[in-house]
Amino acid sequence: GLAPPDRHLHYVLAPCPNTATGPSAAAWRDLGPRYRDSLVRELERRGLDGFGAATEEELLVTPADWTALGHAAGTPFSAAHTFAQTGPFRPANLVSGIDNAVLAGCGTTPGVGVPTVLISGKLAAQRVLGTGRGHRP
């Protein structure tokens, strides 16, 4: 594993607003550590006693980091990560009016996250190769 012997690796993912509807990227320099602290308190309240004190190394990624990497509105999720834009409600992988374009990735169906983005790539490949539903000639 990635953790040293007798140590553990934890990944904590928490929702936060994008910089177009929520705090600016600059605000996250101060807000990020405070949000992390509140998350640690909540994890400890839910049973991970001593989680904060036991943390030896951390990497805090906020919308400011995503903005610096060129992600629009400080989000890696493309379309809004809301129920109305998840799974089948995500934009289709076919581009209306363009016969030779098929999309893949987090901005199209089925959505964000490594498993669903891989499925998105498979769906796009099937459309291009003509082995799936709704393939493009």
Residue found under tokens 């796009």: 124
Is residue 100 located within the same domain as residue 65? no
**What secondary structure does DSSP assign to 66-121, as a single string?**
HHHTT-GGG-TTSS--SGGGSGGGSPPSB-TT-TT-B--STTSTT-SSHHHHHHHH
Has residue 133 got a pLDDT over 70?
Answer: no
Q: Which residue has the higher pLDDT, 82 or 9?
A: 9
pLDDT at 136: 53
Is residue 56 located within the same domain as residue 89? no
Residue found under tokens 């990560």: 81
Per the domain annotation, does 31 fall within a domain?
yes
Per the domain annotation, does 78 fall within a domain?
no
Is residue 42 located within the same domain as residue 93? no
Per the domain annotation, does 136 fall within a domain?
no
Q: Give me the percent of the chain exceeding a pLDDT of 90.
A: 43
Per the domain annotation, does 135 fall within a domain?
no
pLDDT at 132: 67
| Structural domains counted in the chain | 2
Per the domain annotation, does 3 fall within a domain?
yes
Computed over every residue of the chain, the mean pLDDT equals: 88
pLDDT at 135: 55
Residue-range definition of the domain harbouring residue 87: 83-129
Has residue 82 got a pLDDT over 80?
Answer: no
Q: Contact 25/64 with Cβ under 8 angstroms?
A: yes
Q: Which of 18, 50, 15, 54 is nearest to 35 (CA)?
A: 15
Mean pLDDT value of segment 104-131: 86
pTM across the whole model: 0.66
Beta bridge partners of residue 94, listed in sequence order: 102
Residue 91: is the preceding peptide bond cis (ω within 30°)? no
Over residues 7-65, the pLDDT tens digits come to 999 999 898 888 988 999 999 999 999 999 999 999 999 999 999 999 999 999 999 99
Per the domain annotation, does 7 fall within a domain?
yes
Is residue 2 located within the same domain as residue 67? yes
Is residue 90 located within the same domain as residue 68? no
